[in-house]
Amino acid sequence: MTAFDLIIIGGGPGGYVAAIRAAQLGKNVALVEAKHLGGICLNWGCIPTKALLKSSELYYTLQKLDQYGLEAKSTAFDLTKIVKRSRDVAGQLVTGIKHLMKKNKVTVFDGFAKLAGGGKVSIDLNDKSKTEISAPHIILATGARPRVLPGIEPDEKLIWTSKEAMIPETMPKSLLVIGSGAIGIEFASFYRSLGAEVTVVEIMDRVLPVEDEEISVMARKAFEKQGMKIMTGAKVAKLEKSANNVTATIEAGGKTETQTFDRVISAVGITANTENIGLESTRVQVERGHIVTNPWCETHEPGVYAIGDVTAPPWLAHKASHEGIICVEKIFGVPGVHPLDTKKIPGCTYCHPQVASIGLTEAKAKEAGRAVKVGKFPFIGNGKAIALGEPEGLIKTIFDATTGELLGAHMIGTEVTELIQSYAVAKTGELVEKDLMHTVFPHPTLSEMLHESVLAAYGKAIHY
């Protein structure tokens, strides 16, 4: 048996980052990955979808070249090349992760790992052999997979998960997307931009239901303007497959209707990968399908930790990576380590227009009993946004009326997934409204809207 200082099960954005940080601390680290380094994020999630969305965004822009004084004799897309580029981008980054493992002297085992008790991990290697390794500390970073609803089971042909939606062989003329969270809306945006007739069914009363209500309303208007059909407060009661299409029975507003689609994407959340990893012989607790941890990522089993999508929400790659660093630094006694505050984690949706947020929504802040000051600044008041031909959008900020604490920020519009990080820095640094007001923002930039929104909360906006 080979002994290590730390064993990490799962090589996604939580696991591989934890491995690198432990190696930086001079520890002997083993990383076990059953399928592919980089996990879902690099291979079948965050990265390849952004490559797809970039292609669709460019195609969308080509359709309005005349607005920029440009002409093109024809515009077209090659779906095969779009998909290939996406897969190539993912492959390039996975190769990079392999290099990082080698550079940091992390021992990688290609296989499926299982807790074997007493700090031991048994591994069924991909070459069909078996081995066993041990360490005083074991981090579970096994991630999650798409949730499957009864009666809407994906078949990889007509009913897709996010994975199949990333590698279409042909362009569907009509598409049903079940679920309007980040995954569902991103795919709806991708396929609609390339010309598919897209219907989105959401069981909640609005799209992007975790976002601030005002942002959700603006998003829906933008999506419908692009030609999407949005059905909220609705559910898919049944799917009936034929040879080449699917007929959906949709219930909404007390009425039932049937519609036929070429393809269906099920985007109704995730299920944590907790099965067959040896939890049954430990004190690790699982609630609502996810492993329970304390603020230091410790489970109820001494020496066993968990990070990322296998644990509680938010289920975001950057949350997993940060948890990996916190967990490792706590294990090995790095001074100054702090537990993760989920209210300081930004969330991004890369549809068109983009949506990004951090902290409390206006409604949640009021529910918490906070007296608030709310600032809003529209994209139409920003010179750079108008010059870019992207005048539609909004920056919204929420402050504690007494202390000036930034409680939340919510935005919709071009490149807001990049802009949100300024407010993340502000929240981490515990900046108050005066700090943000006294910050000089460069002109002409989209970032000026961040400043104006803060000013607007206190009746000081200059350009609107």
The DSSP code for 426 is H
133 — pLDDT class (breaks 50, 70, 90): very high
Q: What mean pLDDT comes out for the span 367-387?
A: 98
pLDDT at 17: 98
In this structure, the dihedral spanned by the alpha carbons of residues 72, 73, 79 and 83, taken in order and rounded to 10 degrees, is -30
Q: What's the whole-number mean pLDDT along residues 22-40?
A: 96
352 is catalytic: no
Predicted confidence band of residue 145 (pLDDT cuts 50, 70, 90): very high
Give the mean pLDDT of 214-239.
97
pLDDT digits (tens, 9 = 90+) for 81-129: 999 999 999 999 999 999 999 999 999 999 999 999 999 999 999 999 9
> DSSP letters of 260-276?
EESEEEE---EEE--TT
pLDDT (tens digit, 9 = 90+) per residue, 153-195? 999 999 999 999 999 999 999 999 999 999 999 999 999 999 9
Residue type, 340: L
Q: Is the pLDDT of residue 1 over 70?
A: no
Angle, vertex CA 31, rays to CA 273 and CA 47, nearest 5: 65
The amino acid that residue 363 corresponds to is A
pLDDT at position 125, please? 97
Q: How far apart are CA 208 and CA 201, in angstroms?
A: 11
Distance of CA 298 to the CA centre of its chain: 24
Rounded mean pLDDT, 65-82: 95
User: Which architecture, in CATH terms, is 2-145+271-342?
Assistant: 3-Layer(bba) Sandwich (3.50)
Taking only the tens place, the pLDDT of each residue in 46-64 is 999 999 999 999 999 999 9
Domain boundaries, the chain: 2-145+271-342, 159-267, 353-457
Question: Own/partner pairs for 251-254, CB < 8 Å, 24+ apart?
Answer: 252/201
Instruction: Render pLDDT for 276-313 as a digit per residue (tens, 0 to 9).
Output: 999 999 999 999 999 999 999 999 999 999 999 999 99
The pTM of this model reads 0.95
What CA–CA distance (Å, rounded) separates 97 from 451?
37
Whole-number Å distance between alpha carbons of 76 and 242: 30
Virtual CA dihedral for 103, 104, 110, 112, nearest 10 degrees?
Answer: -160
DSSP state of 458: T
pLDDT of the residue at 347: 97
Instruction: Reply yes or no on whether the pLDDT at 262 is more than 80.
Output: yes
pLDDT over threshold 90, residue 432: yes
| Superfamily of domain covering 159-267 | FAD/NAD(P)-binding domain (3.50.50.60)
Token output for 38: 């980089």
Do the domains at 159-267 and 353-457 have one common CATH topology?
Answer: no
What pLDDT, on the 0 to 100 scale, is given for residue 430? 96
Of 300, 443, 451, 463, the active-site residue reads 443
Flag whether pLDDT at 236 surpasses 80.
yes
What is the spatial distance between Cα 36 and Cα 43, in angstroms, rounded to a whole number?
8
CATH superfamily of 353-457: FAD/NAD-linked reductase, C-terminal dimerisation domain (3.30.390.30)
Paired sense of beta strands 246-252 and 255-261, if any: antiparallel
Residue type, 254: G
Confidence at residue 4, expressed as pLDDT on a 0 to 100 scale: 98
| Residue 22: band (very low, low, confident or very high) from pLDDT cuts 50, 70, 90 | very high
169 close to 160: Cβ distance less than 8 angstroms:
no
